[in-house]
Chains A and B, each alone.
Chain A
Amino acid sequence: MNAGPFRSLGEKPPILMTPEALDGMLTLDSYRSMESGYEGLEKVLKEKTPAEVTDDVTRSGLRGRGGAGFSAGMKWGFIPKDTGKPVYLVCNADEGEPGTFKDRWLLRHTPHRLIEGILIASYAIGCNRAFIYMREEFAMEAIRLQACLDEARREGLMGADILGSGWECEISIFTGAGAYICGEETALLSSIEGRRGYPRVRPPFPAIIGLYGCPTIINNVETLSNLPVIARRDSDWYASYGTDKSTGTRLFSISGRVARPGVYEVEMGVPWSALLDDLAGGPSRNRPFKALYPGGSSTPMLTAEEAGGSTIDFESAMDLGTFLGSGGTIVLDSEDDIVDATLNVARFYNNESCGQCTPCREGCRWILQIVQRIASGHGTAEDIDLLLDVTGHIEGNTICAFGDGAVAPIASAVVKFRSEFEARVGGAQQ
């Protein structure tokens, strides 16, 4: 069924971007009639214990779609039992990574699927109070989602005694204020608590001490949106998608020099060409691809050759020293300048560093200054090595992953396209 915005290894139907979803399942009725909506939840509540749900999700191989790619079921398993404290679930809908807009697609097209996913996850971890941390810019999506939450409450799908099971769960939308760092899960928790959006030192991990000091699970919109179908079908069915270690499908939002930028779904393990050429229509300017940020601007850059010989799954990405990140692929072609692209990225991370820890706060500004100098033709050959040295002092030494994400696209660009930097410090300006 290799049609529409989906590509699989064999002849499988899409999981998230179904034809029904493309039309939009915005009401409870449409979700119920077109996709057997909330049947997964009903099945879970009637037939399974929370531990069994967690086991099912672990067996399905579902890994986090927010960036780190950690096993969802395993993460749930870290919630300590019998602490006497409430357990919280937070849906991370603060999709802020440059080039990423796949969660927005899910919020726009399948809001009830997300709500069902949140309810299933809440049931599995023993949570009666879930939050959706919504990016400020998603104002329309927030209004739509709130309408769906109201609808779910009216139909007995949210609140007390859900579907007559005796189990209760409340879901609230919390809107951020536009800081990129608040997509980082611990900064997000600080933000909900009304503090400065500062990431927290781990350990303790949020599963132990999270929101308001209580055990908390933070899952991405896409991760949660996969749960209803896993509950309705079964984990083996889900695991039949993808590779051994990267199961299921993955949404990608692709932008840059491609003919058809947009959101697409691919089965894990398909070649990059399936996404870049088949789905996105190849180059937009009839020039060969040069490089791409595979999973958002904070993932190390790949050359077109590297991507061309590789497949889309967590392991292959790691073999190339990069990540699938948030699935926000940005493509550059042969006419694009790597130094300018790097300057753009450096500017973003200089603006968005929260300023809490030293290496990131001072380092991101310094990196920007050095890249600006090189881009303006005032750099020296030493500046290129200095750039690598500075990135080395940030990487791994910061409180959260922002530091790593800020230097990855810079260092990889310098390593893989050093000649372009050298051409600029020679004084030649394009």
Chain B
Amino acid sequence: MITGIKRTLKAHMGEGVAPVVRLPESETTVQITIDGHELHIPSGATVMEAALSNGIFIPHFCYHPGLGPEGNCRMCLVEIEGRPKLEPSCIIPVCRDMVVNTCSADVVEARRGVMEFLLLNHPLDCPWCDKAGECMLQDHSYNYGSGETRHRMHKRTSPVKDFGPKLKMYSNRCIQCTRCVRFLAEVEGGEELSLFGRSADVDVGTYIKHNLTNNYQGCLADVCPVGALVTKPFLYSARVFYLESQPSVCPICSTGCSIFVDRYQNRIVRIRPRPNLEVNEWWMCDTGRFETGWIEEGRVDTPTFGSESGLRQCGWDTALDAASKALKSAVGGQLGGIVWAGASCEEIHLFTKLLRALGGIISPWYGPDGRIDPAAKEDFLRRKDPNPNTRGLEAIASDLLDLEHLLGRIDSGEVASLIVLGTVMDEAVAARLSNLDQLIVISSHHCPVGDASDVLLPGTVWVEKAGTFLNGEGHLQRFSQVLDIKTAARADVSILSALIDRCGLGPQNEDPAAVYEEITRQPGPFKGLAWGQIPPGGRRLDLKLPASEPGTAGREGAE
């Protein structure tokens, strides 16, 4: 048990402690020496950036690669030859022939002092602190602190602050590093938090007590190096060292933020950003992070088959037989397909493959508000397109027919059989499907269209399967299966493979990796990029997008 904890702890610390650093783009480099290692560093980088990007760890609290340096924690002090005092490595830029020592006797002594100062008033309530296990103060205390205190007085205390439904602040644990204040000022832009008071009474808070309103409060808990800012949805739900983390991609808009999904006992307990300099940097919005209730609610858990007495549950064989029979019986242009822009590239590929072989026509479904949700608020990360794979859909199923046209052909009786991939939450669409002879729906959730179907095949949500999404800027990312499927539902790729087989168009490999390879063999932006070659942070594909298309990631879009 204990070794198990230690192992996961180590894995966790490795992840949190060595941050992803963005080095300045510079044409010139300077040679410096850190702890005896000769390094060539782009000019303009700081000593901290030089060290971290070369695997040399300098302990720090207030430094965060995504925020402007402040130099206030003094944990990253290093010795630079020829300088009279220790210097904060997070601010000092590298210069030619600089010789840096990150572990001289003076540095070690200064760090010991800083650790002692920071722990003077810290409550040391690790046993019930959410951050324990991924806390920089805890980690550094083990590595650079002392096991004993020389402080004999009462500790400074201040009340817990309630910042609304998402966030809570245990001010006693705060080390005044101002990362949260800087995140809101520099990245989010709202400046909702500030510092109040001075000397040892400096306190982070809001001007006049109120709830925070910004949509990036989860990031405040992320950047907090201690357990001062914690998110309420995760509070007391699990110890972080028991969590299993899987890399994934956020499905709630066309940005497709890189994320970690943290699982505990086959349950998602936390979603957090996975640093990706090309997509979401170190951040993600609260909508993607906290609004996960939909994953479990209203799920279709068994296949159903429509008979004269209404829908009834059935086995997969019955359902797939009925579906393939209906598909095969559609003659010529009688078959239509609707595919959701939140489906993975692999699902879209198989759906297209099936429909094309049977001579069907395909329309996209972008959600009840359309491809661009006019009510959605765009900011430095969020985009108005609510789908993670609109670009994938349009790149793979290139000859899409407008949905209104398809519905028109159903109205006129031209299209008599329809297969839908995705959860079409739209009464208006459902109402126009009554003319159909056959309606087959693959959906993870109950929806008006699924309820009207003749065959309803239970699909899965993105955390229950593997696949790829192509974001609004053409950045291709892989996501992996996080949760085991708890019901009779199947991965949508498997369902489509079975239909292809049963329609006599097979054999079809149902492994997402194999399906992806099929896409790369076709002409198009995916060509030649193997599944195994997609880096953890994804790869930008050349979609030849028109220049006027709105950008997806990076801060440029917000400004």
Contacts and interface: CB of A to CB of B under 8 A. Distances in A.
B74 A358 contact: yes
A393 B119 CA distance: 14
Interface in B65-107: 69-75, 77, 85-86, 88, 91-92
A196 B195 CA distance: 9
B153 interface: yes
21 contacts: A179-B198, A196-B195, A201-B91, A353-B199, A355-B195, A355-B201, A358-B72, A358-B117, A361-B117, A362-B121, A362-B200, A363-B117, A365-B120, A392-B113, A393-B116, A396-B85, A397-B74, A397-B77, A397-B85, A397-B86, A399-B74
A16 B335 CA distance: 100
A353 B117 contact: no
Interface in B128-153: 150-153
Contacts of A357: 71-74
Contact of B113 (A354, A359, A373, A386): A359
B429 interface: no
B55 interface: no
Interface string B35-73: 000000000000000000000000000000000011111
A373 B72 CA distance: 29
The 4 closest A-B pairs by CB, nearest first: A393-B113, A355-B202, A362-B117, A365-B200
A398 B114 CA distance: 10
A193 to B, nearest CB: 14
A352 B200 CA distance: 10
Contacts of A196: 195
Contacts of A392: 113
Interface of A: 179, 181, 196, 201, 203, 350-359, 361-366, 369, 373, 386, 392-394, 396-399
B201 to A, nearest CB: 7
Nearest to A357: B72
Given A358-B114, A393-B113, A350 B74 contact: no
Nearest to B198: A355
Given A362-B120, A397-B77, A399-B72, A355 B200 contact: yes
Given A358-B74, A358-B117, 19 more contacts: A181-B198, A201-B70, A201-B91, A350-B199, A350-B200, A353-B199, A355-B200, A355-B201, A356-B202, A358-B72, A358-B114, A358-B175, A362-B117, A362-B118, A365-B120, A365-B200, A366-B120, A394-B113, A397-B86
Interface in B367-400: none
Contacts of A181: 198
A396 B106 CA distance: 11
B397 to A, nearest CB: 52
Contact of B110 (A179, A361, A393): A393
A386 B77 CA distance: 22
Given A357-B72, A361-B176, A366 B110 contact: no
Contact of B200 (A179, A361, A394): A361
B310 interface: no
Interface of B: 69-75, 77, 85-86, 88, 91-92, 109-110, 112-114, 116-118, 120-121, 150-153, 156, 175-176, 195, 197-202
Nearest to A399: B71
B462 to A, nearest CB: 43
A147 to B, nearest CB: 34
B74 A354 contact: no
Contact of A397 (B69, B110, B121, B151): B110
A397 B114 contact: yes
Contact of A355 (B91, B109, B113, B176): B176
Contacts of A359: 74, 113-114, 117
A399 B77 CA distance: 11
A70 B269 CA distance: 59
A357 B72 CA distance: 4
Contacts of A373: 152-153
Contact of B117 (A201, A354, A393, A399): A393
A201 B88 contact: yes
B78 to A, nearest CB: 12
Nearest to B93: A203
Nearest to A181: B198
Contacts of B118: 358, 362
Contacts of A351: 199
Q: How would you classify the secondary structure of chain B's contact residues: helix, strand, loop or mixed?
A: loop
A357 B113 CA distance: 13
Contacts of B91: 201
Nearest to B175: A358
A365 B74 contact: no
A182 to B, nearest CB: 11
Nearest to A350: B199
Nearest to A364: B199
A381 to B, nearest CB: 14
Given A201-B71, A397-B110, A399-B71, A355 B197 contact: yes
B198 A353 contact: yes
A358 B152 CA distance: 19
A117 B481 CA distance: 73
Given A386-B150, A393-B117, A361 B71 contact: no
A194 B85 CA distance: 30
B200 A396 contact: no
Contacts of B152: 373
B198 A354 contact: yes
Max count, chain B CB within 10 A of own CB: residue among A201, A392, A394, A397: A397
A320 B514 CA distance: 80
Contacts of B113: 359, 392-394, 397
Contacts of B112: 393
Max count, chain B CB within 10 A of own CB: residue among A196, A350, A354, A393: A393
Contacts of B121: 362
A352 B198 CA distance: 8
Nearest to A363: B117
A361 B199 contact: yes
A364 B113 CA distance: 13
Contacts of A396: 85-86
A353 B71 contact: no
Given A361-B176, A386-B150, A397-B74, A355 B110 contact: no
A399 B112 CA distance: 17
A123 B74 CA distance: 39
Contacts of B73: 357-358
A415 B109 CA distance: 21
A356 B72 contact: yes
Nearest to A356: B72
Contacts of B71: 201, 357, 399
A181 to B, nearest CB: 8
A352 B199 contact: yes
B224 to A, nearest CB: 16
A201 B152 CA distance: 32
Contacts of B77: 397
A179 B109 CA distance: 31
A189 to B, nearest CB: 16
A393 B151 CA distance: 15
A373 B150 CA distance: 14
Nearest to B90: A201
B72 A365 contact: no
Contacts of A203: 92
A353 B72 CA distance: 13
Contacts of B176: 355-356, 358, 361
A57 B258 CA distance: 60
A378 to B, nearest CB: 10
Max count, chain A CB within 10 A of own CB: residue among B109, B113, B175, B202: B113
A355 to B, nearest CB: 4
A203 B95 CA distance: 13
Nearest to B156: A365
Nearest to B178: A356
Contacts of B175: 358
Nearest to A354: B198
Max count, chain B CB within 10 A of own CB: residue among A353, A354, A356, A362: A362
A272 to B, nearest CB: 28
